[in-house]
Structure 1
Amino acid sequence: MSKVWLITGASSGFGRAIVEAAVAAGDLVVAAARRTAALDDLVVAHPGRVEAYPLDVTDTAAIDSAVREIIERHGRIDVLVNNAGRGHVGAVEETTDRELRDLMDLHLFGPAALTRAVLPHMRRNGSGAIVQMTSMGGRFAFAGVSAYCATKFALEGLSEALAAEVAPLGIKVMIVEPGAFRTGFAGPGALHQSAALPAYAETVGPVRASLTDSDGRQPGDPAKAAAAILTALDAEDTPLRLLLGSDAADAVSAHLAGARAEFAAWEKLTRSTDFDA
């Protein structure tokens, strides 16, 4: 039986690649984006299979009515993909409160609102899947992307708890953690940057330069990422976290090894804080 997908941020990058993969699998996709003109070619190429839907995920007041309208029209939503997002570069001191809050609205509060909106329907059906697009930066942070990683850490925490809550109800949750892919993430005008302070030229300056210079040369293929997401969702034992890309695999493996070594070095002090038996 074909599925009905709701994919946010569908006009480009991972969102568009997942739309194409889902349609190729025989499913129907509601492709949501703030500006839907970029989806016109997919709508024409797949009549009745791709529907462009205007949606700004930071407008949480519009989310309930959007989900209700989609379910009324198509009968159900089987897979929600919270993909809408953008990059941001800036040291903690450089990042303004407004910049951090705007990013949280996009990467946390919007996906949380969409998740809450689809859950009653999925619970009634006893099935469904929620895909949260985060990043390898949802596992560890590095200089210059503090705000971005903070939002992805937050979404991962929410989603890990969510997965435990809804698993008995027949609903899957999968956190997708890509490395560097050719999605336009760091393309002209796509990467937001806080005003730079000279004090962080050595730590954040190289990050600003490398992200911009990497555009179009990232190792990851979005089409292969989309295919991997569908494969993992179809698996009987869908992973809670799906890393994508060799760079992500290497970076997270090194981070886990470092965390294990630090734990071992400080375990005795950690355990010394209990009351004496």
Structure 2
Amino acid sequence: MTQQRTWFITGVNSGFGRLMTEQLLARGDRVAGTVRKMDAMDDLKEKYGALLWLAHLDMTDMSGIEQVVNMAFTDLGKIDVIVNNAGYGLFGAVEELSGVQIAHQISTNLLGPITLIRATLPYLRAQGSGRIIGLSTYGGQATLPGGSLYHASKWGLEGFLDSIGQELAAFNIGVTIIEPGGARTNFRFSGARLGEQMDAYKGTPAAMVHVMIKDTSRLPPGDPAKMAAIIVDSADQMPAPKRIVLGSDSWGIIRKALTERLAAVEAQKELAASTDIPTVS
């Protein structure tokens, strides 16, 4: 029987956050969840009572993030798993995005998660154990036109998580990056935002993102409940898996991107070596 754990998950009111919370509560785990609208969780709170701890949190509020983390550890004691789930996608050609939109995307998807994880580390180190799970996307390793700022936030997040995974192993704290493909959540309706389309970009590759987001007849292949279950189960894997790719579309896109990137690097072996200072024998 799986040992009861306490989880801290951001953005539990919808999508993967909601599904993970439902699955965890159903098996008897405790969840500290952050939301933007408290009443969105009334049904689960009524059903599970003290197993569900809730706090309002805006991921662009850095001082608020630290306060909520401190409250959660004070109220609940040990927290075993930290899941950075909250986030959204900003899409459109980079010229179509405003400075305010750009700053909000980076704050929500990158600076907020960094602040959140930093706030948890003193507690996790004192416990001598913990697991950090970061929700990325195939867009954290591959790129598509019209997604530059979303990619910037996710590539930044993956670099951060990859690095701290090496830092935190000495404290028995594992770090896992989740890279889902398209899933049948409400991402396109509440998790995606578009810039103001410019005539100059109509008919170019960057314009396709507007079609993809607005065309609700295009159904992504991923089953979000299955994906959520794999994310939940990953906490039992020792050592922590470094990355988990979810969805055949994600696997295919990431494999293609990495294969092409490796081929480009391999082709430059002699050029790279030519810039070294000669070794004196």
TM, length-normalised to structure 2: 0.93
- Aligned match of 2:180: 178
The runs of 5 or more residues in structure 1 that have no matched partner are none
Structure 1 residues 216 and 91, CA gap change in structure 2 (3 angstroms): closer
State the Cα distance separating 1:213 from its structure 2 match.
1.7
The runs of 5 or more residues in structure 2 that have no matched partner are none
Letter paired with 1:26: G
Q: 1:257 aligns with which of 238, 241, 259?
A: 259
Determine the C-alpha separation between the residues in 1 that align with 2:152 and 2:116. Answer: 20
Determine the C-alpha separation between the residues in 1 that align with 2:238 and 2:71. Answer: 31
- Aligned match of 1:153: 155
Determine the C-alpha separation between the residues in 2 that align with 1:180 and 1:2. Answer: 31
The number of residue pairs the alignment matches comes to 276
Give aligned-pair identity as a percent. Answer: 37
The answer to whether the 8 Å contact 2:93/2:207 transfers is no
State the Cα distance separating 1:154 from its structure 2 match.
0.7
1:39-118 paired onto structure 2 within 5 Å? 39-118=41-120
Q: 1:24 aligns with which of 23, 26, 31?
A: 26
Determine the C-alpha separation between the residues in 1 that align with 2:117 and 2:149. Answer: 22
- Aligned match of 1:199: 200
Q: CA RMSD in A?
A: 1.5
Determine the C-alpha separation between the residues in 1 that align with 2:264 and 2:155. Answer: 20
Determine the C-alpha separation between the residues in 2 that align with 1:29 and 1:215. Answer: 34
Determine the C-alpha separation between the residues in 1 that align with 2:107 and 2:98. Answer: 14
Determine the C-alpha separation between the residues in 2 that align with 1:260 and 1:194. Answer: 33
Q: 2:250 aligns with which of 241, 248, 251?
A: 248
Letter paired with 2:192: L
The answer to whether the 8 Å contact 2:93/2:201 transfers is yes
Letter paired with 1:90: G
Determine the C-alpha separation between the residues in 2 that align with 1:26 and 1:226. Answer: 16
Determine the C-alpha separation between the residues in 1 that align with 2:90 and 2:48. Answer: 34
State the Cα distance separating 1:214 from its structure 2 match.
4.6
Deviations along 1:139-189, one digit per CA (max 9) or x if unpaired, are 1111000000000011111111110111110111111111101111112x5
Determine the C-alpha separation between the residues in 2 that align with 1:102 and 1:265. Answer: 38
Determine the C-alpha separation between the residues in 2 that align with 1:273 and 1:179. Answer: 39
- Aligned match of 1:129: 131
* SS of the residue 1:46 aligns to: helix
Determine the C-alpha separation between the residues in 2 that align with 1:215 and 1:185. Answer: 14
Letter paired with 1:275: I
The answer to whether the 8 Å contact 1:186/1:215 transfers is no
State the Cα distance separating 1:264 from its structure 2 match.
2.3
Determine the C-alpha separation between the residues in 1 that align with 2:153 and 2:102. Answer: 8
Letter paired with 1:198: D
Letter paired with 1:21: Q
* SS of the residue 2:175 aligns to: strand
Structure 1 residues 130 and 215, CA gap change in structure 2 (3 angstroms): farther
* SS of the residue 1:31 aligns to: strand
The answer to whether the 8 Å contact 2:33/2:54 transfers is yes
The answer to whether the 8 Å contact 1:179/1:220 transfers is yes
Q: Following superposition, which runs of at least 4 residues in structure 1 exceed 6 angstroms of deviation?
A: none
- Aligned match of 1:220: 222
Q: 1:141 aligns with which of 143, 150, 156?
A: 143
- Aligned match of 2:171: 169
* SS of the residue 1:48 aligns to: helix
The answer to whether the 8 Å contact 1:132/1:175 transfers is yes
